Structure formats: structure tokens, C-alpha cells
Amino acid sequence: QMAGRSIEAAADALTLHQHVLYHQSKLYPGLEKVLDAISLASKIISGKVRTMGLSGVVGKTGEKNVQGEEVNILDELSNTVMIKRILDSGEVCAVVTEEEEEFATPSTDLPGRRGYVVSIDPLDGSSNIDCNVPIGTIFGIFPRTSAGDGKGTLADCLQPGRNLIGAGYVIYGPSTMMVYASAEGTFGFTLDPSVGDYLLTHRNMMIPNVCKNFSVNEGNTAYFYPGDLALVAWLKEEDKETSRPLGARYVGSLISDFHRNLLYGGLFFYPHDKKSKKTPNGKLRLLYECAPVSYIAKMSGGKGSTGAMDVLDVVPTDIHQRVPIYVGNKDWVERAESFVRGDYV
Ligand code: P6P
């Protein structure tokens, strides 16, 4: 019986490429090549992450990125590899990445349709890299809006999450997994290093109808607005009917917190707070963190909100724009909205 199962699995576990080819390439020609590029770059990153103490990628470059954050060697490598592979696919007209002030565009003498835009956080959770806590790559894929097949424009990059045609993340955890969501639903693929490919292991992922944990950095409560303070207190009260108090889980790596909540149910939030004038709208970025995870949540039966509106309806005015985010079980996100709506002028 076991043998049969393992033979069957080896024979028919779809690869990520096949999944995209079968489900999306009629509507979105060449999209599978975009996923191939992200997938290849993520395998290179996975290899470095798994041997980081040996592969000389631990530590800092000594530079600061556009966010004013110190850049880790692995951040820079991940960014360089992702941009190059994605633009070389010939299917992408612009890449928005956390590590670059401006969006990157391809040389137009490459064959290809350049019909898509990719927003990407090549390696999210950098503060966790050196201490071996899971980190991740987060990405969103939009259709280009400008005419022709040349380099993309700023307008191509400033699209609301509502326009996403696919979004996903790679979690470099005990296993390396790619979770990819599209109109088809949310599917999980596990990297088999002996094969060197992502094989389907989780079909039609849906957030369970239970909310096990809340996930927020309570070290910031001194700077919270009243609504968020009331929300945190409410989540901790005992109330059997609404299965409170919830557990508390906070890894500090968005993809780890989000992935756990996708599988077990949970409410993650990073509110805007009074901590820093520099980031009045919270810490997480719309285009390559909040919109992709809100899209994945939506495709998995959940929701992402800024507290005042659906994250997917926010039209960016800047490619590095930050928004507050409450994401996870739809009913719990809506409860959170009722607490914090009052804080929005
Ligand atoms: P804090 C990691 O640096 C990150 O961008 C996300 O992955 C994570 O959710 C958040 O910041 C953690 O921020 O302020 O709680 O350390």
C-alpha cells in the first residue's frame, strides 16, 4: 500500500510549472515562465539559506537600503538573483523590489511579451536570517496596463491588489515550500532537493473556520492607538463562546506567521502606531508584502484589511508605500476592524 502511494505520488505530483501551465497559461500566456524564474531563484536562495554558516552569506554588506535598513549579504544576493531571473524570462516589463528605490526594467532586445509586472520582497524577515528562524520570499504578479511590449512604466507598478492575477511566497523553513494562489485557489508545493523541483503537496488550501492564535508585536503596545489596545485586551479575555483567549504566536517573520495562520487559522496584525514619524502607516509595505498576503488570504477564504478598508482596494501612490494590516480569518479580521475603525481620521 505504502509503496503504491509513493509510486503514485512520484508519478503524478504536479510541479508548479505544470500547475500554472494547466490552469493559467490560456488566459495569461507566458505566466508559467515567470513562475519558473521565481522558482529557480528561490532554489538558489534556499541552497544558500540552508548552508548560510558555510556559504559566507551571514552578516551585513555595510550598506543601507531605500528603507534605511541595514542590508544583509543574503538580502542583496536574493534581490540580485530574483531581479535577473525574472527580467530574463522575457515576460516581465517591470519589477518592484524592497531593495531598490526605483522599479527595475528589462532590456527590450530579449525575446518575449513583457506582459506582466512583479512586486517582490526577495528575502523577508531579514532580522531572523542569522539566527536560523524561517524567512521567506513574497511576490505578486500583475498584468501590465501600459500598451505595447516595451519596458514597464510607473503606472504599471502602481496597481491595487485587486488587479493581481497570482501571488505567493516561498518559506525557507524545515522544508522549503512555495505557496501560490490564483483564481484557481491556493496550492502548496514542497521543494524536493533530490529532484530539484517543487511538487504539489497541498491542494486547495483554505483557512480553517477556527482562529487559534493572534499574532502581533506586543512590544509596541506603548505606541498603540486606543483601538488596537482594546483589540489586544479583548483577544485575551476569557469567553468560551468565541473561543477566547486566543493563543499568542509571533515569529517576527511575516511569512512564518502568515503560513501558520493559513494552516491553523489565526489573526496577524501590524497596526500603524505612534512609534515613528517615519512610518505613520505601520511597517509593512503594500506592494510586496500586504497586497500579496491579502490576495492569498482572500483566495483561501480569509481577508486582509488596513483596519479601514480591504487591502486589495488600496491604490498605491508610491511603490514603497506602507499600510497597516490585519490579515487571516475573515470574521476575526472584521472583528478587528470594528475595534480600530475609530482610529482612522
Ligand atoms: P517587528 C521582518 O523584518 C518584517 O518585515 C516582517 O517579516 C515581520 O512581520 C515584521 O517585519 C516584524 O517587525 O517590528 O515586529 O520586528
Please name the residue whose Cα sits nearest to atom 1 of ligand 1. 252
- pTM, 2 dp: 0.95
Q: What is the pLDDT of residue 282?
A: 94
- Which pLDDT value is given to residue 7? 66
Q: From the CA of 288, how far away is ligand 1's center (Å)? A: 13
- Give residue 1's pLDDT: 53
Q: Which of 98, 127, 129 to mutate to test the pocket of ligand 1 (most atoms within 8 A of CB)?
A: 127
Rounded Cα–Cα distance for residues 118 and 92 (Å): 7
The pLDDT value recorded for residue 345 is: 42
- What is the C-alpha separation between 47 and 32, in angstroms, rounded? 22
Q: Which atom of ligand 1 is nearest to the CA of 125?
A: 2
Asked whether 279 lines ligand 1 (CB < 6 A), one says no
Backbone torsions φ then ψ of 225, nearest 5 degrees: -75, 160
Q: 255 C-alpha to center of ligand 1: Å?
A: 10
Q: How far apart are CA 318 and CA 202, in angstroms?
A: 35
* Atom number in ligand 1 closest to CA 126: 3
Provide the residue-wise pLDDT of the chain in tens; the chain has 345 residues. Answer: 555 566 666 667 899 999 999 999 999 999 999 999 999 999 999 999 998 888 788 888 888 877 787 888 999 999 999 999 999 999 999 999 999 999 999 999 988 999 999 999 999 987 788 888 999 999 999 999 999 999 999 999 999 999 999 999 999 999 999 999 999 999 999 999 999 999 999 999 999 999 999 999 999 999 999 999 999 999 999 999 999 999 999 999 999 999 999 999 999 999 999 998 888 999 999 999 999 999 999 999 999 999 999 999 999 999 999 999 999 999 999 999 999 986 654
pLDDT of residue 67: 74
